A and B are shown apart, each in its own frame.
Chain A
Amino acid sequence: MTESIKKYKFRDGLHLEFEIIDLAQVLKDKKDLMTVSHRAQFYLILWIEKGEGTHYVDFNPIKIEDNTLIFIPSNSVNIYDKEGLYEGKAIIFTDSFFCKNKEDVRFLHASLLYNDLYHIAKMKVSPQASYLRVFFNAMETEFLRNPDNSQFPILHNMLHIFLLQAEREIREQGFEELKPSVHLDNLMLFKEKLELNFRKERSVNKYASELGMSDKQLHKACTSVLDKTPKQIIDERLILEAKRLLVHSKQAIKEIAYELGYDEPTNFIKYFRKHTESTPLEFRSRF
């Protein structure tokens, strides 16, 4: 694992890996910290009441607007807009807060709010009273209580309901969801495996056999759902990691190449250039 990107871990000393923060306040107090690109080791829900500017998650721009909810997965790279306006609240929580059993894991990782098969989930919320607002208020109130044995399960369940309701509303707002199928299930298994192994393993055949599928099955899963080949998906993941390391660490190209499983930096440079049409150094200098 790389330690070279600035990783913001959860604050020590909190009894729960859950927090509700005032965005404007945090950005004011920790402007230097927040506007340096960093990789957050927690899930984020941004409730923007008033906002302007462009937020970047894994190099993809997201427009910041009034009355929106934005769901940002754990481990993605965030760049806050230095000139932007973020007014509202944020909920931050970790896997260890939410995932107390297998159902929780499945829900969170498959949720269209946090699933990386989709673009970052962003939805409109009513500025008036709404079900989501009531639950957000209730979580804020519960979070302030003096800790007791009920606090964790109550917060956990309220967050679960909040996410379920947000899923429902984002669907109603026209979010296009992938239809459940064997192919989607197989693709999800592949992505899970890839996430753990992409630094050292890039052979489609190896992944297929590890998952007990034929090359053809894996190919079909990827192309029918995403219209991409397994090889393309592997390449995209590796390139994303390369970009993250280039921009968010001070490591030499040689070290990054090595970390991503290249013994020869020139091979890494060629590979990067082929997929991004720029050299690693050029890419780095743009940020």
Chain B
Amino acid sequence: MRRIFIITVLTIVSIVSCEADNKEANMAISNKQKVSELLKAIETGAGEPVAYINANNYTQHNQAIADGLAGFGAVLGTLNEAGGGKVEVQRVFEDGDFVIAHTKYDFFGPKAGIDIFRFENGLIVEHWDNLQEIVEKTASGRTQFDGSTEIKDLDKTEANKTLVRNLMKDIFLGANPDKITDYISTEQYDQHNPGVKDGLGGLGEALASLAEAGMPMVYEKNYIVLGQGNFVLSVSEGIFLKEKVAFYDIFRIENGKVVEHWDTVEKIVPEADAKNTNGKFNF
């Protein structure tokens, strides 16, 4: 009797300690790291990182991919048939349950991608992204990826997010266009949008030539602003070159002004042609 008791206790103890180990192991891998591993697995074909996705609950907002883990699996299958892909994550940052990754893909052709993943209990439950073709020769001479990657000023996250929210409202949605120098540095504005030159002047020139052609760049709605320290992502809807698009803009902020910008612009698929019904936005 006594012996049985001891064995039972031991078993319970070992179960408990096992659980603790697992928890520790999970804690050790950050959400950012999980996202990096998962994206890299698209290239390597490694199976383990797929376990970071909640298999029972994964809401897909990429309109070309079917909902759920099955949709993601189907894309990987097609990609393997097409000879595989390449994935180079450039910068990753997080905001609460959200992780944002800026990535150079060769994924059915070379693309710049900004992905957003939402986590619940350590697992990915939702995904949004915005993809754009890579341009070889850019107006600024910068690529769509190079530039700063160091995350700092963690104490300024909220202030920087507020700055970008107001930048969207006042400049891109047009409430106070003359305030542009309150938001964007007049000394340095490193531009990674392939069609626009460096500096505030470059941005002004690009916007003016679009408007003169009768095709002003229109921001209609800002959906979400996410950031960590000096990096802030803004997701918006609008019209660019006579197409309905999603704008994903990443801004780097230094001393309260935007000094660097990367973006991707992707056409929004009409609902009837989308592979899922989750919508491109719906944060």
B215 CB–A CB distance under 8 Å: yes
Contact A144 B214 (CB under 8 A): no
A133 CB–B CB distance under 8 Å: yes
A196 CB–B CB distance under 8 Å: no
Q: Which of A136, A145, A146 contacts B214 (CB 8 A)?
A: A136
Chain B contacts with A in 58-104, Cβ cutoff 8 A = none
A235 CB–B CB distance under 8 Å: no
B221 CB–A CB distance under 8 Å: yes
Bound-complex Cα distance A263 to B242 (A)? 55
Q: Mark A127-141, 1 if CB is under 8 A from B, else 0.
A: 001000111111011
Closest Cβ of chain A to B269, distance in Å, is 14
Q: Mark A253-267, 1 if CB is under 8 A from B, else 0.
A: 000000000000000
Contact A138 B214 (CB under 8 A): yes
Q: Nearest B residue to A135 by beta-carbon distance?
A: B214
Given the known inter-chain contacts A144-B242, A144-B243, A144-B244, please indicate yes or no for A137 contacting B218, CB distance below 8 A: no
Given the known inter-chain contacts A146-B220, A146-B221, please indicate yes or no for A137 contacting B242, CB distance below 8 A: yes
Q: Which of A137, A144, A145, A146 contacts B213 (CB 8 A)?
A: A137
Q: Mark B195-221, 1 if CB is under 8 A from A, else 0.
A: 000000000000000001111101011
Q: Which residues of B contact A146 (CB under 8 A)?
A: 220-221, 237
Q: Which residues of A contact B244 (CB under 8 A)?
A: 144
Contact B213 A129 (CB under 8 A): yes
Chain B contacts with A in 144-185, Cβ cutoff 8 A = none
Contact B215 A138 (CB under 8 A): yes
Given the known inter-chain contacts A137-B242, A140-B242, please indicate yes or no for A145 contacting B218, CB distance below 8 A: yes
Q: Which of A129, A134, A136, A141 contacts B239 (CB 8 A)?
A: A141
Contact A133 B242 (CB under 8 A): no
Q: Which of B212, B218, B221 contacts A141 (CB 8 A)?
A: B218
The bracket for how many chain B residues form the interface is 10 to 19
Closest Cβ of chain B to A49, distance in Å, is 14
Closest Cβ of chain A to B202, distance in Å, is 21
Contact B220 A141 (CB under 8 A): no
Closest Cβ of chain A to B243, distance in Å, is 7
Contact B220 A134 (CB under 8 A): no
Closest Cβ of chain A to B221, distance in Å, is 7
Q: Mark B223-240, 1 if CB is under 8 A from A, else 0.
A: 000000000000001010
Contact B215 A145 (CB under 8 A): no
Bound-complex Cα distance A109 to B216 (A)? 32
Q: Nearest A residue to B239 by beta-carbon distance?
A: A144
Q: Nearest A residue to B243 by beta-carbon distance?
A: A144
Closest Cβ of chain B to A241, distance in Å, is 38
Q: Which residues of A contact B220 (CB under 8 A)?
A: 145-146
Q: Which residues of A contact B215 (CB under 8 A)?
A: 137-138, 140-141
Closest Cβ of chain B to A140, distance in Å, is 4
Closest Cβ of chain A to B205, distance in Å, is 16
Q: Which residues of A contact B212 (CB under 8 A)?
A: 134
Chain A contacts with B in 64-87, Cβ cutoff 8 A = none
Given the known inter-chain contacts A141-B239, A141-B242, A144-B242, please indicate yes or no for A134 contacting B214, CB distance below 8 A: yes
Q: Which residues of A contact B221 (CB under 8 A)?
A: 146
Q: Nearest A residue to B215 by beta-carbon distance?
A: A137
Given the known inter-chain contacts A137-B214, A138-B215, please indicate yes or no for A145 contacting B242, CB distance below 8 A: no
Bound-complex Cα distance A145 to B221 (A)? 11
Closest Cβ of chain A to B141, distance in Å, is 27
Contact A133 B239 (CB under 8 A): no
Closest Cβ of chain A to B89, distance in Å, is 33
12 contacts between A and B (CB under 8 A): A129-B213, A133-B213, A133-B214, A134-B213, A134-B214, A137-B242, A138-B215, A141-B214, A141-B216, A141-B218, A141-B239, A144-B244
Q: Chain A: residues with CB nearer than 8 A to chain B?
A: 129, 133-138, 140-141, 144-146
* Closest 4 A/B residue pairs (Cβ): A137-B214, A134-B214, A138-B214, A140-B242
Q: A133-B214, A144-B242 are in contact. List 11 more A-B contacts (CB 8 A).
A: A134-B214, A135-B214, A136-B214, A137-B213, A138-B214, A141-B215, A141-B218, A144-B239, A144-B243, A144-B244, A146-B237
